[in-house]
Structure 1
Amino acid sequence: MEAYQKVYNYLEDIGIPYEIVEHPAVFTTEEADKYIEGKEGVPTKTLFLCNRKKSRYYLVIMDDRKSLDMKKLGDILDEKGMKFGSSEKLMEKLSLSPGVVSIFGFLNNDSHDINICVDREMLKDKIVTFHPNDNTKTIFISTDDMFKFLDSLNYKYEIIDL
């Protein structure tokens, strides 16, 4: 089964409606945004990060038009030396490659060993977008359903001000 089909099936199983936009493969948020321009919803970026010791991993979800201040994030989380997690760890933990990172990778992570941080500012929008574990598609779901999805997998999340 294709990775995106697993996402669609899961969303349907838990009663989350979604809309899909198909497009050529994209590897940056700037590229992806071109294909969803004019549609309602906040385009998100989902960043896979770790602390200096690589002992804790984080998925940070924010509006893709915003820049992440790693020092500020480290201060908020009381972590030193925040940096991007390696592509190997990303594959190991979420079965995803760079450019495809989204909350839907949690379907592949039974160990619940990744901390989720959601930027409060993006919650003003009613719709959010992600790749459904495939960078040739962008999925639109409601912000409330993003939390419903995380709750259905028993993931805790922290809402922070980036």
Structure 2
Amino acid sequence: MADGEVRATYQQCIAELDRLGIKYTVVDHPAAETTAQADHYIEGLEGARTKTMFLHDKKQRHYLVIMDDRKRMDFKAFQEISGAKRISMAKDEEITAELGLRPGIISPFGLMNNQEKDVQVYIDQMVLDQPIWTFHPNENTHTIFLANQDVLRFIEAHGFSYQVIDLPA
């Protein structure tokens, strides 16, 4: 998807989850610009608060990392785990080109727009251990709750595999 067009919408996400028969719950709320704001809007509800990082390396390979939103991304540890060199945050235009998403609203749901299937997916063990995960479903005015196994099924249904990693706390 080289044209850089934002393609991943809330409606696209919901339609795809429905097509796959994946059950979910959605909480509508005001726009959340940070994970702290999003967490406030869903306070008291069960589910791991996640953040999804979209990274690239010096060879412009892309990595999607799903982790607990309380953890800080340890770039050095990720490089050691993945074998990648010079990991950094992907540029806004890469996020849009590779995932069809707006910067700041990255989730595994953008994988359905990666036609080349060239994004490597990593999931932190701390999140994997939680039965329910939360994400923005391609818009920051909603938070979606899904079973962890359904998120994994979504990833695999779009032609991606994933690696489980143990990022330092």
TM-score band w.r.t. shorter chain: over 0.9
Match of 1:43 among 46, 49, 52: 49
Whether the 8 Å CA contact 1:100–1:131 is kept in 2: the answer is: yes
Whether the 8 Å CA contact 2:8–2:110 is kept in 1: the answer is: no
Q: CA RMSD in A?
A: 1.3
Whether the 8 Å CA contact 2:48–2:68 is kept in 1: the answer is: yes
Match of residue 3 from structure 2: none
Q: Distance in 2 between matches of 1:11 and 1:105?
A: 12
Cα shift readout 1:46-68 (whole Å, capped 9, x = no counterpart): 000011232x1000000001111
- Could you tell me how far 1:127 is from its partner in structure 2? 0.2
Whether the 8 Å CA contact 1:123–1:143 is kept in 2: the answer is: yes
Identity of aligned residues (%): 43
- Could you tell me how far 1:2 is from its partner in structure 2? 7.9
- Name the aligned partner's letter for residue 30 of structure 1: A
Runs of at least 4 residues off by over 6 Å: none
1:13-32 equivalent positions in 2, closer than 5 A = 13-32=19-38
Q: Distance in 2 between matches of 1:63 and 1:17?
A: 21
Q: What are the ranges of 5 or more consecutive residues in structure 2 without an aligned counterpart? A: 1-6
Match of 2:149, SS state, is: helix
Q: What are the ranges of 5 or more consecutive residues in structure 1 without an aligned counterpart? A: none
Match of residue 16 from structure 2: 10
Whether the 8 Å CA contact 1:26–1:99 is kept in 2: the answer is: no
TM-score by length of 2: 0.92
